[in-house]
Amino acid sequence: SQTIHQWPATLVQPVGSPLSLECTVEGTSNPNLYWYRQAAGRGLQLLFYSVGIGQISSEVPQNLSASRPQDRQFILSSKKLLLSDSGFYLCAWSGGGEVGGYTFGSGTRLTVV
Amino acid sequence: KQEVTQIPAALSVPEGENLVLNCSFTDSAIYNLQWFRQDPGKGLTSLLLIQSSQREQTSGRLNASLDKSSGRSTLYIAASQPGDSATYLCAPGDYGGATNKLIFGTGTLLAVQP
Q: What are the chain A neighbours of B2 within 8 Å (beta carbons)?
A: none
Query: Phi first, then psi: what are they for A43, rounded to 5°?
Result: -80, 175
Q: Which has more pLDDT, A40 or B13?
A: B13
Residue A86 is predicted with a pLDDT of 94
For residue B34, give the DSSP letter.
E
Q: Which has more pLDDT, A96 or B71?
A: B71
- Residue B37 pLDDT greater than 90, yes or no: yes
Does B97 touch chain A if contact means CB atoms closer than 8 Å?
A: no
Which of B36, B38, B102 to probe the A interface (max A CBs under 10 A)? B102
Range of weakest confidence among A17-21, A39-43, A97-101, B22-26: A97-101
Residues of A with CB under 8 A from a CB of B: 6, 32, 34, 36, 42-46, 49, 51, 57, 59, 88, 90, 92, 94, 96-98, 100-107, 109
Q: What are the chain B neighbours of A96 within 8 Å (beta carbons)?
A: 99-100
Residue A34 is predicted with a pLDDT of 94
Residue B96 is predicted with a pLDDT of 60
Residue B98 is predicted with a pLDDT of 61
Nearest Cα neighbor of A32 from A108, A105, A78, A96 is A96
CB contact under 8 A, A106 and B43: yes
CB-nearest partner of A44 from B45, B100, B104? B104
- Residue A65 pLDDT greater than 90, yes or no: yes
Does B91 touch chain A if contact means CB atoms closer than 8 Å?
A: yes
Q: How far is A72 from chain B (nearest CA, A)?
A: 16
Average pLDDT of every residue of chain B: 93
Q: Which of A26-35, B25-34, B67-76 has the highest mean pLDDT?
A: B67-76
Does B75 touch chain A if contact means CB atoms closer than 8 Å?
A: no
Residue B29 is predicted with a pLDDT of 87
Residue A100 is predicted with a pLDDT of 66
CB contact under 8 A, A98 and B32: yes
pLDDT in tens, A11-54: 999 999 999 999 999 998 889 999 999 988 788 999 999 989 99
Q: What is the largest CA-CA distance in chain A?
A: 42
Report the Cα A27 to chain-centroid distance in Å: 19
Nearest Cα neighbor of B52 from B12, B81, B113, B95 is B95
Q: How far is B41 from chain A (nearest CA, A)?
A: 8
Residue A40 is predicted with a pLDDT of 80
Q: What are the chain B neighbours of A46 within 8 Å (beta carbons)?
A: 101-103
d(CA B16, CA B93): 32
